[in-house]
Amino acid sequence: MAEGSWYDADIERVIISEEQIRDKTEELAKQVSADHADTDGGLLLVCVLKGAVMFMADFARALGRHGSSSELEFMAVSSYGSGTASSGVVRILKDLDRDIAGRHVVIVEDIVDSGLTLSWLMKYLQSRSPASLEVVALLRKPDAIKVSVPVRYVGFDIPNEFVVGYGLDFSERYRELPYVGVLKPEVYARS
């Protein structure tokens, strides 16, 4: 087996480094923890699979270090759309395992692109009567927004380019990259 990462040669440039992700996650967790210091019962984190799985794991651990306990829940949704563009029509592939009524819920997202998934998800979760509902998103593409969503905590605003890594995929690959980067055009051409 060759030494080194298999993926570096496929990446045109790194947009957010591993260190930047680590520092930002710590900063966001510190902020969320401070804002919820008086919250009873801890936070209920809702991870939207699959993209948010890396961020969820790191964010929950950072929250714990900053004094907030959390419970971890997972949802999987699929948006009907053509190619990479989502349509806003969302299908639930995996629902929550428990009641969130009266709980302080934080949706953990890897990226807000058009905002359509999150907009739908917020309405869906709001209808289940949480005590509060907020969003933390590691990445946001301001130029791609189609519907405005109240995202209280944002890590990085990034350009409207197709990015992979740290949970984000291209055809289910590149999720395990420790950084967020732009793929080389020849990688698209290959598939």
Question: Does residue number 107 form part of the binding site for ligand PRP (CB under 6 A)?
Answer: no
Question: In 3D, which of 18, 10, 5, 15 has the Cα closest to residue 179?
Answer: 18
- Helices 18-35 and 53-65: angle between axes, nearest 10 degrees: 50
- Whole-number minimum distance, CB 116 to ligand PRP, in Å? 4
Question: Does residue number 112 form part of the binding site for ligand PRP (CB under 6 A)?
Answer: yes
- Whole-number minimum distance, CB 85 to ligand PRP, in Å? 8
- Whole-number minimum distance, CB 164 to ligand PRP, in Å? 10
x/- string (CB under 6 A) for ligand PRP, residues 161-180?
A: --------x-----------
- Whole-number minimum distance, CB 172 to ligand PRP, in Å? 8
Length of the chain: 191
**Which residue number, 43 or 74, has a Cβ lying nearer to ligand PRP?**
74
Residues 53 to 92 in contact with ligand PRP, rule: CB under 6 A: 79, 86
Given a contact cutoff of 8 angstroms between Cβ atoms, the answer to whether 127 and 101 are in contact is no
Question: In 3D, which of 15, 29, 49 has the Cα closest to residue 117?
Answer: 49
Question: Does residue number 135 form part of the binding site for ligand PRP (CB under 6 A)?
Answer: no
Which distant-in-sequence residues (6+ apart) come within 8 Å of 94 by Cβ?
A: 49, 74, 75, 76
Question: In 3D, which of 106, 175, 119 has the Cα closest to residue 146?
Answer: 119
**Which residue number, 39 or 79, has a Cβ lying nearer to ligand PRP?**
79
